[in-house]
Structures are given as structure tokens and as C-alpha cells.
Structure 1
Amino acid sequence: MARYLALLGSINVGGNRLSMADLRDALEREEFEGVETVVASGNVLFDHEDRPAEGLAEKIAWIVADRFDIRSAVVVLDRAALAAAIAENPFSGVGEDKFVHTHFLTCQPTEAQFAALMADHAGRGGEKLASGTRALHIDFGDGVAGSKLTGAFMDKRLGCSGTARNMRSLRRILAKMEGADGA
């Protein structure tokens, strides 16, 4: 069994209310083991037979849509991929952890799509952006609340959906994963 992290987008925001206990129960019924949620915002640790992350993400997205009628972007990472995403973020350790995010994507946008996002974002706000591996790294500077750099704005230009987490949350989740597998 391998340990994974599923990041679900749009959970417990915008009317998509979902009890983490109900989510855990639904996943356990579908052969996910050791299911544990971290905060009530769609962060799920679980054990599963070793499989490609994309297949697991599709399975979880189907379960959430089927059981709860919620369409959610789902990204699945193993411990190494999560650690790599944290290390890859050029703003990590530079900006405040609560304002530095990684927007995990369901696909890898092209360089042209990243360039279009950068061009369309120019003049909209003070956020700093950097492309990554199936991710967009963002330093929101003074905060996320007033930003015009929304998920919908990014998803439209990048050609795929995603879900963001700040560095503080990602480090907390990584520590839980490392504690679980002894790494």
C-alpha cells in the first residue's frame, strides 16, 4: 500500500458543503484505507494500492460527484511529489507562508498558456507568479482576500482546473505524511 494526498477543490466554500466524516466514509467504502482528513477543506490522506495518481484522482472525483453531487478538481500526490512541489515553489521561504500558495493543476499547461496567464494578469494585482510542474506558484503578497487572481481566472487561461493550498498547510500535511510512513 502506498500513502497519498488528495487535494479536492471547492470543498466547503461556495455552497459545496461536505462533512469530512461523510467523505472519509465514502472513500473507505471504495477501497481507500487509512483515510484521514486534514482541516475541513478537502485535504485527504489515504492508503491505496500503488497506482498512477491521475487514476486515483479520477476515482475520487467520481465518488464525490456520485455521492455528494459536487464537481471538484482533484489532484493526488504521493509524499515525494508533495515535497517536490514545496521545494519547487520559488516564493517559499521568501514570502509569508500563509500568502504563498501552490495552485495544483489537473494537467500540465503549455508554456503558451502560462504566458497568456501572465499577460492577462499584468496590471491586475501585485501577485508574483511562477510556473511549475502541474502547478502555478503564487505569492499573494499582502493577502488572498482582495486578489483578482481567482481560480476561475487561472483555470480559463491554463486550460485546466486546480486547487490551491498555502505553504503553511502544505508543510503541515507533509509532516503528517512523513510521520505516517517513517520518512
Structure 2
Amino acid sequence: MPRYLALFGSLNVGSGNRITMADLRHALAREDIENVETVIASGNVLFDYDERPTEGLEEMFAYVMRERFDIDSFVAIRTREELRRAIEDNPFTGIGEDANVHTHFLGGQPTPEAYDALFAAYEGRGPEKLAAGERSLYIDYVEGQGEAG
């Protein structure tokens, strides 16, 4: 059975969309998701599930969040191989300072036109470098996230 990683957005351990990691593990286990482990209090989850496309799992997890917790949450799910490939494919790795080079996971694959529109809208706003990935966006923040344009 494959192992997956779920990366949740819109979850907060301090305020707003709050849930306990125990409640999250319990809700996912009720959906026949096995070996559910939360990564500290981040809302990120490691789990086992029958092999299936990660896009379908993202929909299922979003449904669980809506139905069980009344939270509309973004979730990106990746297999070990998808995660490895996303990190290795980042064109800024080894060029920029490691702490400033990020892989942002997306819920779907933007069209080339959508990426082009994003890059055009960002042009001239700051020194950051952007690149398109497979269901991801690569960013080299160059001067750090706190200084980003």
C-alpha cells in the first residue's frame, strides 16, 4: 500500500480554522485511511491508502474537512516519488540560498497561459525568481520571504 503526504492549507493551530491533530487523525481513519500520522501540529499528514491518483485523494480530503470540521481547506497530496521529483525539479536548487528556495505545491496543474499570466503580473515587483513545475510553483525569494515584493 503506498504512503502519501497531505499538505493542508487554511489550518491553524492558534486561531481561525482550528482542529486538533487527534481529531484530524480520527476523521481520516474513519475514511479507511490507514497509518495516519500527523507531523507535529502542522496539519500535515502521512498516511497509507490504496494506490490511486493523488488528485482524487485531494478531493476526498477536502470533502472530509468540509463535512467533519466545516473548513474549506486546500490540500495537496503527493506520493514519495511526486514529492522527490518536485524538489529535485526545482530549477533554483543549488543556485539560490537554500533557505530562500521553495517549492509551493498546488492543487492542480495550471495551464501554460495561467503560469504566463502569473509571471507577467509579478514582473518588476521584486527580485524573486519564479518557475513553473508539475502541480507546483518554484520560487527563489533571493533576499528572503520577509523582503519579497
Q: What is the aligned residue count?
A: 148
In the TM superposition, what is the alpha-carbon distance from 1:146 to its structure 2 partner?
Answer: 4.3
Q: Tell me, what secondary structure is at the counterpart of 2:36?
A: strand
Name the residue aligned to 1:12: 12
Name the residue aligned to 2:111: 110
Cα distance in structure 1, aligned partners of 2:123 and 2:29:
45
Q: Tell me, what secondary structure is at the counterpart of 2:31?
A: coil
Cα distance in structure 1, aligned partners of 2:143 and 2:122:
17
- Of structures 1 and 2, the larger Rg is shown by 2
User: Residues 82-102 of structure 1, C-alpha deviation per residue, up to 9 Å, x if partnerless?
Assistant: 100011111123323332211
Cα distance in structure 2, aligned partners of 1:112 and 1:125:
21
Q: Relative to 1, partners in 2 of residues 1:2 and 1:140: Cα closer, same or farther, differing over 3 Å?
A: same
Give the share of equivalent positions with the same residue, in percent.
Answer: 57
AA aligned to 1:4 is Y
Name the residue aligned to 1:55: 56
Gaps of 5+ in 1: 149-183
Cα distance in structure 2, aligned partners of 1:29 and 1:83:
29
Cα distance in structure 2, aligned partners of 1:126 and 1:144:
11
For the aligned residue pairs, the C-alpha RMSD in angstroms reads: 1.7
In the TM superposition, what is the alpha-carbon distance from 1:40 to its structure 2 partner?
Answer: 2.3
TM-score, structure 1 as length reference:
0.75
Which range is displaced more, 78-87 or 40-49?
Answer: 40-49
AA aligned to 2:88 is A
Name the residue aligned to 2:95: 94
In the TM superposition, what is the alpha-carbon distance from 1:5 to its structure 2 partner?
Answer: 0.8
Which range is displaced more, 8-17 or 30-39?
Answer: 8-17
Q: Relative to 1, partners in 2 of residues 1:97 and 1:23: Cα closer, same or farther, differing over 3 Å?
A: farther
TM-score, structure 2 as length reference:
0.90
